[in-house]
């Protein structure tokens, strides 16, 4: 009995030590990881898989994959996901918005993070004609492909799988490197190879433009790490959402993301860029929200607000930073903020609530609290002569007034931030 108890204690100690080693293994996506698979969830958030971990979105720490998709580990003792994609075909109602994961010879289908009944199944059963041990997969709806299809990659072999007829067509993509993962984002197609990526035509595999490019410049929030990084191009075309945006009385726009910001001049669309550290050294980096009022930039970071006089250079005012609660009558942090032209009301967004602050009042108090029904979270917002632009992820939505934004029950047309605000061509 003593021997059995001793053996059991050793086994428990070993298991605990292994779990601690596993938990302490920190993956850093900014170190140039080669992702095993990439897929976009039903809210449009990309999931980057590496080993038994997943990175959700464009920044943030790795999480264990089995915390979101438990059965992957239950059935497979997860080493890594070979390939993944979201079936986004409205003509296929039984599979629409399902996420498929490929591991060795098996495929798992999830809907709203729940494993579908009967899964996992063999790849041959669900996708006949598609080989095992895949490298990558990506959905391709028509007309981007001739028919609603899934493109599978294995080495230099490319398979177009017709979702409706289950026919398989082998393709040859001569100008593309072998993909270690692939995904569709904002109607464009990306092949990742190592920590580089190329944008490709899903029908032909043609790669146009200057590729490959560094994935950490566009799909991750990493500070500049290479002399080859063009931060102007990077910030114009990055897929990482903006942290804050504002325009001054002259109509110049300021957009903030991570360690950098862009300034777009009114009238000529000239873009300039710099680091936050260089132009707003007291802030260092990563602001939460910004608005302008009477030629001053109010810049929020955590529970503090910094005040700068707009100019060349911007001048940090004495006495700041101040506590957001003391300055504006609301607890920080703030998600987004804006002031409309010729008005003296600051609109502060915190979660799914919006508050008004009369800037001429003393003391200032956040009042007129209202719920925002259209968005779970707002990343940034901007108000100008034509109304309010609300930025969520990589898109923005235009409302003619603050009232229509708050009271709205239907989303207006979706616009791309990189294309329509900054003139990026991809």
Q: Are residues 243 and 174 in the same domain?
A: no
Q: Is residue 23 part of a domain?
A: no
Distance, in Å, from the CA atom of 87 to the CA atom of 64, rounded to the nearest integer, reads: 23
Structural domain count of the chain: 2
Report pLDDT for 9: 43
Report pLDDT for 13: 42
Q: Are residues 46 and 135 in the same domain?
A: yes
Question: What is the β-pairing status of strands 63-64 and 53-56?
Answer: antiparallel
Q: Is residue 116 part of a domain?
A: yes
Q: Is residue 225 part of a domain?
A: no
Distance, in Å, from the CA atom of 358 to the CA atom of 145, rounded to the nearest integer, reads: 52
Report pLDDT for 24: 37
| Per-residue model confidence as pLDDT tens for the chain (426 residues) | 444 444 444 444 444 334 434 433 578 888 777 889 999 887 778 899 998 889 988 877 888 888 888 887 665 555 689 999 998 876 666 677 889 999 999 999 998 888 999 999 999 999 999 999 999 999 999 899 999 999 999 998 999 999 999 999 998 888 888 999 999 987 889 999 988 899 999 999 998 888 888 888 778 777 655 555 566 777 777 878 899 999 887 788 899 988 888 888 877 767 887 888 888 989 877 899 999 999 999 999 999 999 999 988 889 999 999 999 999 999 999 999 999 977 899 999 999 999 999 999 999 999 999 999 999 999 999 998 889 999 998 889 999 999 999 998 899 999 988 888 887 766
Backbone angles phi, psi at 114, to 5 degrees: -115, 135
Q: Is residue 246 part of a domain?
A: yes
Q: Is residue 231 part of a domain?
A: no
Q: Are residues 270 and 355 in the same domain?
A: yes
Q: Is residue 373 part of a domain?
A: yes
Report pLDDT for 312: 82
Report pLDDT for 285: 75
Burial per residue of 131-153, b for 16 or more beta-carbon CB atoms within 10 angstroms, e otherwise: eeebbbbbbbbeebbebbbbbbb
Q: Are residues 73 and 173 in the same domain?
A: yes
Q: Are residues 312 and 211 in the same domain?
A: no
Q: Are residues 209 and 245 in the same domain?
A: no
Q: Are residues 246 and 395 in the same domain?
A: yes
Sign of the CA dihedral 264, 414, 351, 217? negative
Q: In what order do the strands lie in the sheet with 380-384?
A: 380-384, 387-392, 395-399, 414-416
Q: Taking the complete model, does pTM exceed 0.85, yes or no?
A: no
What CATH number did the domain enclosing 76 receive? 2.110.10.10
User: Does 321 sit behind a cis peptide bond, omega within 30 degrees of 0 on the bond before it?
Assistant: yes
Contact 182, 168 (CB under 8 A): no
Q: Is residue 22 part of a domain?
A: no
Query: Which range of residues forms the domain containing residue 210?
Result: 28-218
Q: Are residues 158 and 49 in the same domain?
A: yes
Report pLDDT for 377: 92
Sign of the CA dihedral 382, 388, 393, 395? negative
Q: Are residues 373 and 243 in the same domain?
A: yes
- Residues contacting 332, CB < 8 A, separation 6+: 288, 300, 302, 303, 304, 305, 323, 324, 325
Contact 373, 409 (CB under 8 A): yes
Contact 315, 281 (CB under 8 A): no
Question: What is the β-pairing status of strands 157-162 and 149-154?
Answer: antiparallel
Q: Are residues 191 and 274 in the same domain?
A: no
Q: Is residue 285 part of a domain?
A: yes
Q: Are residues 400 and 286 in the same domain?
A: yes
Q: Are residues 186 and 37 in the same domain?
A: yes
Spatial CA neighbour of 298 closest among 277, 314, 313: 314
């Amino acid at each position: 009995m003593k021997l059995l108890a001793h053996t059991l204690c050793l086994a428990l100690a070993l298991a605990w030590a292994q779990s601690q080693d596993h938990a302490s293994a920190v993956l850093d996506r900014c170190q140039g990881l080669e992702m095993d698979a990439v897929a976009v969830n039903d809210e449009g958030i990309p999931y980057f898989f590496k080993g038994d971990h997943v990175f959700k979105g464009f920044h943030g720490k790795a999480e264990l994959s089995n915390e979101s998709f438990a059965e992957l580990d239950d059935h497979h003792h997860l080493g890594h996901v070979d390939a993944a994609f979201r079936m986004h075909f409205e003509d296929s109602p039984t599979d629409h918005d399902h996420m498929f994961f490929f591991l060795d010879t098996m495929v798992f289908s999830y809907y709203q993070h729940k494993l579908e009944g009967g899964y996992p199944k063999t790849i041959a059963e669900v996708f006949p004609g598609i080989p095992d041990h895949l490298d990558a997969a990506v959905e391709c709806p028509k007309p981007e492909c001739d028919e609603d299809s899934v493109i599978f990659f294995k080495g230099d072999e490319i398979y177009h799988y017709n979702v409706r007829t289950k026919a398989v067509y082998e393709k040859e993509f001569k100008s593309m490197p072998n993909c270690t993962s692939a995904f569709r984002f904002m109607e464009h197609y990306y092949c990742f190879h190592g920590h580089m990526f190329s944008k490709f035509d899903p029908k032909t595999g043609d790669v146009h433009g200057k590729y490959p490019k560094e994935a950490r410049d566009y799909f991750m929030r990493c500070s500049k790490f290479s002399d080859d990084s063009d931060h102007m191009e990077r910030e114009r075309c990055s897929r990482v959402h903006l942290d804050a945006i504002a325009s001054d009385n002259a109509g110049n726009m300021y957009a903030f993301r991570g360690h950098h910001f862009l300034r777009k001049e009114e009238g000529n669309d000239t873009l300039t860029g710099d680091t936050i550290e260089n132009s707003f050294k007291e802030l260092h980096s990563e602001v939460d929200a910004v608005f302008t009022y009477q030629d001053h930039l109010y810049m929020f970071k955590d529970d503090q607000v910094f005040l700068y006089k707009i100019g060349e250079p911007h001048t940090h005012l004495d006495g700041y930073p101040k506590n957001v609660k003391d300055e504006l009558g609301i607890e920080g942090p703030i998600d987004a903020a804006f002031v409309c032209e010729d008005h003296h009301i600051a609109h502060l967004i915190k979660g799914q609530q919006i508050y008004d602050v009369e800037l001429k009042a003393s003391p200032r108090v956040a009042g007129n609290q209202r719920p925002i029904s259209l968005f779970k979270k707002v990343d940034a917002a901007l108000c100008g002569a034509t109304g309010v632009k609300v930025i969520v992820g990589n898109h923005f939505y235009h409302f003619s007034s603050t009232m229509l934004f708050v009271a709205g029950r239907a989303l207006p047309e979706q616009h791309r931030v990189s294309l329509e605000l900054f003139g990026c061509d991809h």
